[in-house]
């Protein structure tokens, strides 16, 4: 990959400003992002609740790269490149499923759940099955959340494991089930989808439903100086619910209070699920927001965990995969109405889709030049873009060396 153009764009960005046009619009920048960002980062792939039993698998695309997460007979989760060692067909279509083995649909080469090649018909006697196992992808599970990394040598995840585990543990993701999962196609660069998802400058007018419960005018998503925030933190500690903040440059987690008079992040502000994942405090525990660069944020409330993943498809197309987890014993139609459960974030995502697509259309204009972020209202967007630029520059420098 010729990185001269990328370098020029990175160097042309004025500090505190949005990115130069080419980084949002070109196939060159998209290929670069896949290699430099998605190919080197820990990515939140899904949840243990999606692959509970031996043989359960989760298949998904990271850009053009198909990845497979499988629960083995020994209960261990493993990740593989979803590419047959015969002639490269994918083994499982994107989505979830179950099988005692992984059989390629093309010529029926068959792999164990641990990736070993078990059977390959009509191959010569001296064919070495041992040399044709599925290629592994790094996988780490943290408090029920599954992370994968496609790099040969992944970044250090020990601080995330150490600091996120106590925050997430009370939310019992191991005892969760997927109540709903959806994919929204957005015609915008993945970075625009994320920039939008990292600020609430647009929320007060753009998200009437979210604004009811979400403190949309806070300069960040929490204000550690405010008396109300301190009282909330104190109440959470007495309930045994640590709230952070925790994080490194590539992730953040903090528990924050919802707007006064509301107890759940729903359209009404009341609970939408009867069986709570966290019963402490009667479920009035605000939301634990945890966000992982490059492409994710989650909200863990007492009744659900909502996960937002922006999956890059092309320079100007992104698929937003939304997942709602609830208590594993909550019965649809009895303990929750799925429409009510998903309404708030579905509306919010549709509103954000319009913002991101309009943003892309305007950035395509010859009149576009990078504009300044509000240091107060867009601090987390600036943090995301600065992180992106630092990672990108680092990749360019290492490629040059
Ligand atoms: S490509 Fe998988 S068996 Fe031929
Ligand atoms: Fe938004």
Residue 371 lies inside a defined structural domain of this protein: no
What's the rounded Cα separation, in Å, for the pair 192 and 170? 33
Domain match, 208 and 327 both: yes
Domain match, 226 and 328 both: yes
Reading the block at residue 219, the tokens are 């300069």
Q: What total of structural domains would you count in the chain? A: 2
CA of 317 to the centre of ligand 1 (A): 30
Of 66, 80, 83, 87, best ligand 1 pocket probe by most atoms within 8 Å of the beta carbon? 87
Residue 375 lies inside a defined structural domain of this protein: no
Domain match, 231 and 109 both: no
CA of 79 to the centre of ligand 1 (A): 19
Residue 396 lies inside a defined structural domain of this protein: no
Of 99, 129, 154, which residue constitutes the final position of a domain?
A: 154
Domain match, 308 and 172 both: yes
Residue 261: give the domain boundaries: 159-363
CA of 137 to the centre of ligand 1 (A): 20
Of 139, 154, 169, which residue constitutes the final position of a domain?
A: 154
CA of 14 to the centre of ligand 2 (A): 25
Q: What CATH number is attached to the domain comprising 98?
A: 2.102.10.10
Q: What's residue 227's pLDDT?
A: 79
Q: Whose atoms come closest to the Cα of 108: which ligand?
A: 1
Q: What's residue 74's pLDDT?
A: 97
Of 80, 82, 89, best ligand 1 pocket probe by most atoms within 8 Å of the beta carbon? 89
What's the rounded Cα separation, in Å, for the pair 357 and 125? 56
> pLDDT digit of tens for each residue in the chain (401 aa)?
789 999 999 999 999 999 999 999 999 999 999 999 999 999 999 999 999 999 999 999 999 999 999 999 999 999 999 999 999 999 999 999 999 999 999 999 999 999 999 999 999 999 999 999 999 999 999 999 999 999 999 999 999 999 999 999 999 999 999 999 999 999 999 999 999 999 999 999 999 999 999 988 876 655 555 778 888 999 999 999 999 899 999 999 999 999 999 999 999 999 999 999 999 999 999 999 999 999 999 999 999 999 999 999 999 999 999 999 999 999 999 999 999 999 999 999 999 999 999 999 999 999 999 999 999 999 999 999 999 999 999 999 999 99
Domain match, 117 and 176 both: no
- DSSP, collapsed to helix, strand or coil, labels residue 397 as helix
Residue 132 lies inside a defined structural domain of this protein: yes
Domain match, 133 and 260 both: no
Of 130, 154, 178, which residue constitutes the final position of a domain?
A: 154
Domain match, 212 and 332 both: yes
Whose CA is closest to atom 4 on ligand 1? 107
Residue 22 lies inside a defined structural domain of this protein: no
Reading the block at residue 143, the tokens are 């408090």
Domain match, 122 and 252 both: no
CA of 181 to the centre of ligand 2 (A): 19
Query: How many beta carbons lie within 10 A of that of residue 33, not counting itself?
Result: 24
Residue 314 lies inside a defined structural domain of this protein: yes
What's the rounded Cα separation, in Å, for the pair 340 and 323? 14
Q: What's residue 219's pLDDT?
A: 64
Whose CA is closest to atom 1 on ligand 1? 87
Residue 28 lies inside a defined structural domain of this protein: no
Q: What's residue 237's pLDDT?
A: 94
Whose CA is closest to atom 3 on ligand 1? 107
Q: What's residue 216's pLDDT?
A: 85
Residue 335 lies inside a defined structural domain of this protein: yes
Domain match, 227 and 243 both: yes
Domain match, 163 and 270 both: yes
Pocket of ligand 1 (CB under 6 A): 84, 86-89, 104, 106-107, 109
Q: What CATH number is attached to the domain comprising 292?
A: 3.90.380.10
Reading the block at residue 154, the tokens are 């992944």
Domain match, 233 and 339 both: yes
What's the rounded Cα separation, in Å, for the pair 275 and 395? 46
Domain match, 259 and 164 both: yes
Query: What phi and psi values does residue 227 have, to the nearest 5 degrees?
Result: -60, -45
């Amino acid at each position: 990959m010729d990185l001269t153009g990328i370098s020029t764009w990175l160097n042309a960005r004025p500090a505190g400003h949005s990115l130069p046009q080419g980084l949002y619009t070109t196939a060159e920048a998209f290929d670069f992002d896949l290699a430099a960002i998605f190919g080197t980062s820990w990515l939140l792939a899904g949840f243990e609740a999606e692959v509970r039993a031996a043989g359960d698998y989760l298949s998904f695309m990271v850009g053009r790269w198909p990845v497979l997460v499988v629960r083995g007979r020994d209960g261990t989760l493993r990740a593989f490149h979803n590419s047959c060692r015969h002639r490269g067909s994918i083994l499982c279509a994107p989505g979830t499923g179950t099988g005692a083995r992984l059989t390629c649909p093309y010529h029926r080469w068959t792999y164990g759940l641990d990736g070993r090649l078990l059977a390959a018909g009509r191959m010569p006697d001296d064919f070495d099955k041992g040399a044709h196992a599925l290629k592994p992808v790094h996988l780490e599970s943290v408090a029920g959340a599954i992370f994968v990394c496609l790099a040969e040598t992944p970044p250090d995840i020990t601080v995330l494991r150490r600091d996120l585990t106590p925050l997430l543990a009370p939310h019992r993701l191991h005892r969760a089930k997927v109540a709903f999962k959806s994919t929204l196609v957005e015609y915008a660069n993945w970075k625009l989808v994320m920039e939008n998802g990292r600020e609430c400058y647009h929320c007060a007018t753009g998200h009437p439903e979210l604004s009811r419960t979400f403190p949309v005018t806070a300069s960040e998503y929490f204000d550690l100086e405010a008396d109300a925030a301190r009282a909330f933190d104190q109440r959470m500690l007495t309930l045994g619910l640590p709230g952070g903040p925790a994080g490194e440059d590539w992730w953040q987690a903090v528990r924050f209070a919802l707007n006064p008079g509301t107890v759940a992040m729903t359209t009404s502000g009341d609970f939408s699920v009867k069986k709570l994942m966290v019963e402490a405090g009667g479920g009035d525990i605000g939301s634990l927001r945890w966000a992982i660069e490059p492409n994710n944020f989650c909200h863990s409330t007492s009744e659900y965990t909502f996960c937002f993943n922006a999956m890059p498809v092309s320079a100007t197309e992104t698929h937003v995969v939304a997942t709602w987890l609830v208590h594993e014993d909550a019965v649809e139609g009895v303990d929750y109405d799925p429409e009510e459960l998903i309404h708030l974030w579905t509306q919010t995502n549709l509103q954000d889709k319009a913002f991101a697509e309009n943003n892309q259309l305007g950035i395509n204009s010859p009149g576009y030049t990078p504009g300044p972020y509000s240091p107060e209202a867009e601090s987390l967007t600036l943090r995301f873009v600065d992180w992106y630029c630092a990672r990108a520059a680092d990749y360019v420098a290492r490629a040059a060396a």
